[in-house]
Amino acid sequence: MAPEPPPTAEAMATPLRMWSVMLDALPMPAALVDAQGFVLDTNRWLDVDDGEALLQPANQEVTPDLRFGVDSTSRWRVRSLDESATVLLATAEREDTGDHLLRRFFSSGDALFVVYDQRGRIIQSNAAWENLLGYSHDDVFGVDSWTLLPEEDQRLRQTVEAELRESGRSEPTFRMRTIDGSFRLVRWALQYDTSVGRCFGVGRDVTEEGRITADLERRAYTDELTSLPNRAMLLKKLDSWLEQSANPALLFCDLDHFKVVNDSLGHQTGDTLLSAFAARLDALATSNDSLVARLGGDEFVIVLRGADTDRAVEVAQEIFTGMHEPFTVLGRTLHVRMSIGIAVSSDHTPTTANALLREADSAAYEAKQLGRNRYVIFDENLRAAVDRRFNVEVGLRHALQTDRIVVHYQPMVAIPGGGIVGIEALVRWRSEGPDGEDELKGPDQFLDVAEEAGLLPAIGHIVLTEAMSTAADFARRGRTVTLSINVSAAELASGDFFDRLLHTIEDTGIDPSTLLLEITESTVLTTEAALPILDRFQAVGIRLGLDDFGTGFSSLAHLRELPIDVVKVDRSFVDDLVDDVVTRAVTGSLVDLCRALGLEVIFEGVESTEQALAVEQLGGQIVQGHLFHKPMPAPELAFRLGLASRSETLGR
């Protein structure tokens, strides 16, 4: 029987165009060849001219075996695309991707192959549809492919179809409904050929990748300890609600004295308490239009969608009530108190997520300043305070860079007689006033902001270095006095304070025994590493003073337990010495106790002759205050110590 004649070019044109579209989707060098091995079409990965012999030997009909095997000479893998073997697909034989991708594309692998008509109806599909989604070819033939997607993904139809019309390509990722009603995430590479009116698609199941991505996203937006949304999610949600003009209200919850729990009971107890607190806080905010998040540490935020000030206050009161019951943590009963700052947005006060968060944070800070365990609403007065703190912080940072942090000194004198026996280094900020003139600011005008902004260690280093250099210079000129320097909790907690102090002692040549480092009881009690550092100070001969005794945590027991050499009695005691009999009796007992313990006592804030006489009558020997000397710059102090003439002082 005579062989059938080969199909005409016209008969081959339409299917050839269809296979050419699929050819472009292959991520490897590939070509369509005829039965003799000559190139009909190539994709972008192969630089071969049409009509060129690709398979060897040329001009010989490709054997049936070769149509489904490997041409060992040219190393091309060949597959037949039609029953007559008139058109063959040749792909570069690469063990890593070539055969694997080819088999996935045409066989029953996990890649979905589909052909759509112009109306999006499925007219051809491969076995992977049944393997992955559960549908046979008969199940999906003629079905609008978009109906296999959930409603929210169908909204992308216009975008995808527009891309196919404009560029002929689109690479969407859809969730596709399986035959049992579950969904698989499929990433598609779609190509539309206008000449045949068909869209060809290759889909890859990326469900597991999607789960990994979702897990990574969840981790990125979730606090690890409490499983609450974290700061990133909070800001994202806030931004969304603000863009929608949902007018959210924000409650900033900051636990009171939580550091004491960590320092006294350990971080495991602290973390367990935070987790329990977070769970109860989340349960208290049950509205669908609310979000509870943890910023970090002991700071939590509740966001209320569309809430006014009254509603925010109502929720704050509910939280205080709900937190009244104690927590049982690792066998301990713990009570939690907090300070809450409230900030409310509105159509009349457009804001950003970060700005609203800062406002609520500032209100919580104010609540702590007012005594803790209360709420404060952010208002215009607080806004002025926030602006003030911002301006102070900016000014301080500039001052640190331009040497405008300076040191003044207030002498400590012996009574009776009034001779200078020591000096206290006091920080000052030489600020630029509104009229351009320098304005000298005392610590009460900026140290609170410096502490909040984390600038105390930098400021303290300047004071330490300059004061020790000045005292060492006075000693070389024949006048040695005790140098008293205040040390903050932030400096003790910095980790390298002791080493920096020793380095400065070595650089300046000052005698360590002339140094008196002043700390407060609260600093010792709230700084975990304080006591070991204080012991190291004393080991090298530095003396330690307990500052502001009589305020805050003051306890007579600490006079015996803490490694101190000097007690500085707070000015609040001195103020009442003259007229208050009880204060005189208590202060007299304090002086006797310190003398028995071998501690030196210094009275600060002595402003009148009557106060000085009262101190002397109680047995006090060293005083400090404006009655004797106000704080002064180093040149003025040199004159007071007899190390410079008045003309030298003025000329400096």
Q: Token digits for 195?
A: 């000449």
> 620 with 629: CB under 8 angstroms?
no
Return the domain boundaries, the chain. Answer: 9-104, 111-211, 228-378, 391-651
Find the helix packing angle between 353-369 and 380-401, rounded to 10°: 100
* pLDDT tens, position by position, 274-322: 999 999 998 888 665 789 999 988 999 999 988 889 999 999 999 999 9
Tally the residues of the chain.
Answer: 652
CA 617 distance to own-chain centroid: 57
CATH superfamily of 228-378: Reverse transcriptase/Diguanylate cyclase domain (3.30.70.270)
Distance (Å, whole) CA 442 – CA 308: 40
Alpha-carbon distance of 273 to 260, in angstroms, equals: 12
CATH 3.30.450 fits 9-104, yes or no: yes
Alpha helix locations (H) across 157-197? 157-167
**Cβ density class 75-103: b for 16+ within 10 Å, e for less:** ebbbbbbeeebbbbbbbbbeeeebbebbe
Which two three-digit tokens encode residue 3?
Answer: 């062989």
Residues facing residue 144 across a β-bridge: 121
For β-strands 169-170 and 183-193, DSSP reports them as antiparallel
Successive 10-residue mean pLDDT values, the chain, 652 residues: 45 61 69 83 76 65 44 64 74 51 48 81 80 82 85 82 87 87 87 80 80 66 87 88 86 90 84 92 78 91 90 92 90 90 79 87 89 90 82 91 94 90 95 79 89 88 94 93 90 84 93 92 69 85 86 64 86 86 87 89 92 91 93 93 74 52
pLDDT, residue 292, reads 92
Cα separation of 489 and 500, whole Å?
15
**Measured CA distances, 38 to 52, 71, 98, 174 (Å):** 5, 14, 20, 39
* Architecture of domain 111-211 in this structure: 2-Layer Sandwich (3.30)
DSSP-assigned states of every residue in 283-325: HH---TTEEEEEEETTEEEEEETT--HHHHHHHHHHHHHHT-S
d(CA 71, CA 73): 6
Judge contact between 249 and 304, C-beta under 8 A: yes
Largest pairwise CA distance in the chain: 138
From CA 517, how far away is CA 167, in angstroms rounded? 75
- Cβ(8)–Cβ(70) under 8 Å? no
Per-residue model confidence (pLDDT) at position 449: 87
Question: In angstroms, what CA-CA distances link 93 with 44, 74, 79, 98, 305?
Answer: 17, 9, 12, 6, 60
Token pair 């939590």 is at which residue? 300
How far is residue 389's CA from residue 405's CA, in Å, rounded to a whole number?
17
Contact 432, 440 (CB under 8 A): no
What does the pLDDT read at residue 288? Answer: 58
Contacts of 349 (CB under 8 A, 6+ apart): none
Domains 9-104 and 111-211 share a fold: yes
Contact 79, 68 (CB under 8 A): yes
Helix axes 456-476, 497-508, angle to 10 degrees: 30
- Given 3.20.20.450, 1.10.260.40, 2.40.30.110, 3.90.950.10, which CATH number is that of 391-651? 3.20.20.450
What are φ and ψ of residue 342, in 5° steps?
A: -115, 130
CA angle 121, 125, 128 (to 5 degrees): 135
Amino acid at 91: T
pLDDT score of 99 = 42
- Strand 299-304 to strand 249-255: parallel, antiparallel, or no bridges (unpaired)? antiparallel
pLDDT confidence of residue 52? 82
What confidence score (pLDDT) does residue 409 get?
Answer: 96
- Rounded to the nearest angstrom, the gap between the alpha carbon of residue 585 and the centroid of all alpha carbons in its chain is 52
In contact, 603 and 575? CB cutoff 8 Å: no
- Residue among 575, 436, 548, 438 nearest 488 (CA): 548
Q: Give Rg (Cα) of the chain.
A: 41
Strands (E) in 491-616, as ranges, are 515-520, 543-549, 566-569, 600-604
